[in-house]
Chain A
Amino acid sequence: MVGLRSDVQNWAMHGSNVIMHQSRLPLDAPTAEQQRFLSLFLRSEKEIYRYVAVLVPNISDAEDIVQQTALALWAKFDAYDPAQPFTPWACRFALNKARQWIERHQRWRALLERGLGEELEQRREELRPELELRLRHLQTCLEKLPQDQRSLVEDYYHRRTGIDELADNSGRTVAATYKALQRIRQALQLCIERAALSKGAL
């Protein structure tokens, strides 16, 4: 099992966002089965991440959960029915991993208790078409950000620069850096809503 997990980590270096940030293992040639799993996983990875992020939005925690999900999926891959879509199957594993993580973190348990976690997952499924329509404007809106805000977003989300380092670099406090990110997200949301409205998407 340990060997298999290492394999997963190796293959993921082909393109997985999540595992890529955490592994520097050399690349081995994958078998046909491994290649099939990798192909399916990579195609679903972003959706799995977003599925997890509804419950656990913090980036590093969500990435950890997706990584654990990848390992669990490979371990059970022989039980996967190719006639069925991969993503829902994978998301069930992701949900279990997310729940296990939440169980270990009292604060998140309090946030999602009394059925709210399930409610959020269900509602997100209902909203998905609309979320797709709205968020297709995200790239355009990102490009409209002033350069300093765009740099901050890129550094935080793309380069995964830590908040302390971002604060040091900008001369802001850590709290002000979090606040700046919050304001940028608000600006992006407003831009997306305007764009969606003007395109008649709503």
Chain B
Amino acid sequence: MKIEFPSREFDDAVAAVCHGLVSDEQADALNELLRRNAAARDEYLLRLELHSRLASQLDLFASAVTDGRGQEAGGGLLFPSGEGSRASSGVATKRKIIRSLSLAAGLVLLAAIGWKWQRRNLPPTSESPVFAAAESGWRPSSANLPGQEYPRLNSEGRAQFRIRAPQAKDVAVNIGHPLTVTKTDDGVWTITTEPLGIGFHFYQLVVDGRKETDPATPIFRGGGGDFISSAIEVPTGDDFHERKNVPHGEVREQRYFSGTTNDWRRIFVYTPPDYHANPSARFPVLYLLPGAGEDETCWSAQGRVSQILDNLIAEKNAKPMLVVMGGGTAQRPGERDTTSRPPADWNRRFSTLDEVFMSDLIPFIDGTYRTLATGDHRAIAGLSLGGAQAFAIGLTHPDRFAHVGGFSGVGGGPGRNLDFMTAYGGVMADADTFNRKMRLLFVSVGGDEPDWMLNSITRYHEALSAMGIKHVFYTSPETAHEWHTWRRSLREFAPLLFKD
């Protein structure tokens, strides 16, 4: 066994060390790694220190000794006898003083010796073992605009950013978390990151405190904060979303008037390669919704819908279909945004968007395009928040949608307990009836998503199984809450649609 740094094996081995569960193989491999790799050694020490602080600095959990359960802890854990409470107070005071002294000593020491942490994400120096490993095989990110060399990636998935800003005093790259960038003599700021996870990553430049997009890449809607970002693509080994030498459909930007919201709403509509060549044919329709902070451009831009569908259709793995990509927010005139400030009733959260679909969008599409305008030939899916919306709209109207998909997002929202007997108008209350009516219910999640997301969606899947609700559950290997998870989900979802 060999452990690389950084890697999942490293993470797991350090966790096993913390819990006293390290295996013989892990112990040997970790010894080998830590003796030769200074960066891994520092990271190992930082993680152990975090673990040992949690175990030893019990006043970190101050709230636990004041809440209901804490009273029990104060009497039964720290202090076995009844004197515990008094002693606890005295010890807590001592500990605060000691901690203050330690911290002060630490600060003085730091100032005195000017020592620098050899931290993750610092630009590697020639002494750094990270640097040596990351020297070769750099290629521009596939998300770059033509001719742009940076940001670039190496085979380990490390990214290098290079920003010319001679007048700037401070530059950072925010890629989910801020990375400090170092200025060289010629006014160029550079950084080499540790390996990024595979897939699509939004990022922003922060120049003297102001967020900006990188002129080296297209602008994407999404990514948190101001919701306009640059992006970098870390290769996944997949090519199902790349443009290939196959017949191509087209994506049309269009606007329709919504009487519900009293405004013109923008959509993007994918038509398959033979839509124009075969003018008498009618097609089923898939409606796709974006995630929170994103808009109707996302499925086409970062979702690569046209490439994915072109390839699937060319391989005869999916039926030719229209794909309608709209926005996920909708307010009636004067109505506040219930997407980000939901009413207590989860089913009412997306009621305006639901009405837009029923009254405005579906009639517009069926009136404009050659569609098969029945529920059996209609599907709705979305990612994250859009997945919850797709479930809410699709399952509330099973006569209008016989296929529903939630990619990293389903009904009920994270951490909520959905009452399947009453949710969506009680459509799931009788599993047999539901299974006969719904032709496909699809749930997916990235295998490397945050714990709360992974658990929430897995629990939903398990609840569906317990209810006897037929569904397909897909986990995208090694991807996080990011666009490659949702591209793969579409790749898995689309072939299951509109089967005879």
* A residues apposed to B, CB below 8 Å: 13-15, 17, 20-21, 23-24, 26-27, 42-43, 45-47, 49-50, 53-54, 57-62, 106-108, 110-116, 119-120, 123-124, 126-136, 138-139, 142, 146, 148-149, 153-154, 157-160, 163, 178-190, 192-194, 197-198, 202
Q: State which of B17, B22, B53, B79 has its C-beta within 8 Å of the C-beta of A20.
A: B79
Contact indicator A197/B60 (Cβ below 8 Å): no
Q: State which of B57, B62, B177 has its C-beta within 8 Å of the C-beta of A194.
A: B177
List of B residues within 8 angstroms of A187 by Cβ: 450-451
Contact indicator A46/B57 (Cβ below 8 Å): yes
Interface positions of B from 437 to 481, Cβ below 8 Å from A: 450-452
Top 4 closest A-B pairs, CB basis?
A: A58-B20, A132-B106, A53-B52, A15-B91
Interface positions of B from 86 to 141, Cβ below 8 Å from A: 87, 90-91, 94-95, 98, 102-103, 106-107, 109-110, 113, 115, 117, 119-120
Q: Taking A123-B45, A127-B45 as contacts, is the C-beta distance between A133 and B52 under 8 angstroms?
A: no
**Is residue B276 contacting chain A, with contact meaning CB distance below 8 A?**
no
Q: How large is the interface on B (under 10, 10 to 19, 20 to 34, 35 or more residues)?
A: 35 or more
List of B residues within 8 angstroms of A26 by Cβ: 81
Contact indicator B106/A133 (Cβ below 8 Å): yes
Q: State which of B24, B58, B64 has its C-beta within 8 Å of the C-beta of A107.
A: B24
List of A residues within 8 angstroms of B22 by Cβ: 107-108, 111
Chain B residue at smallest Cβ distance from A113: B31
List of A residues within 8 angstroms of B44 by Cβ: 120
Contact indicator B78/A17 (Cβ below 8 Å): yes
Contact indicator B31/A111 (Cβ below 8 Å): yes
List of B residues within 8 angstroms of A46 by Cβ: 56-57, 95, 98
Chain A residue at smallest Cβ distance from B49: A131
The smallest C-beta distance from B65 to any residue of chain A, in angstroms, reads 9
Q: Taking A135-B49, A157-B61, A158-B73 as contacts, is the C-beta distance between A53 and B452 under 8 angstroms?
A: no
Instruction: Please report whether the interface of chain A is mostly helix, strand, loop or mixed according to DSSP.
Output: helix
List of B residues within 8 angstroms of A106 by Cβ: 24
The smallest C-beta distance from B256 to any residue of chain A, in angstroms, reads 40
Q: State which of A50, A111, A181 has its C-beta within 8 Å of the C-beta of B17.
A: A111
Instruction: Tell me the bound Cα distance from A27 to B216 in angstroms.
Output: 70
Interface positions of B from 16 to 43, Cβ below 8 Å from A: 17-24, 27-28, 30-31, 34-35, 41-42
List of B residues within 8 angstroms of A58 by Cβ: 17-20
List of B residues within 8 angstroms of A185 by Cβ: 15, 18, 47, 50-51, 54
Contact indicator A62/B55 (Cβ below 8 Å): yes
Contact indicator B53/A135 (Cβ below 8 Å): yes
Q: Taking A130-B117, A202-B117 as contacts, is the C-beta distance between A50 and B49 under 8 angstroms?
A: yes
Contact indicator A183/B450 (Cβ below 8 Å): yes
Instruction: Tell me the bound Cα distance from A20 to B154 in angstroms.
Output: 52
The smallest C-beta distance from B463 to any residue of chain A, in angstroms, reads 12
Instruction: Tell me the bound Cα distance from A14 to B42 in angstroms.
Output: 35
Contact indicator A138/B107 (Cβ below 8 Å): no
Contact indicator A131/B73 (Cβ below 8 Å): no
Instruction: Tell me the bound Cα distance from A196 to B378 in angstroms.
Output: 50
Contact indicator B49/A110 (Cβ below 8 Å): no
Instruction: Tell me the bound Cα distance from A126 to B31 in angstroms.
Output: 20
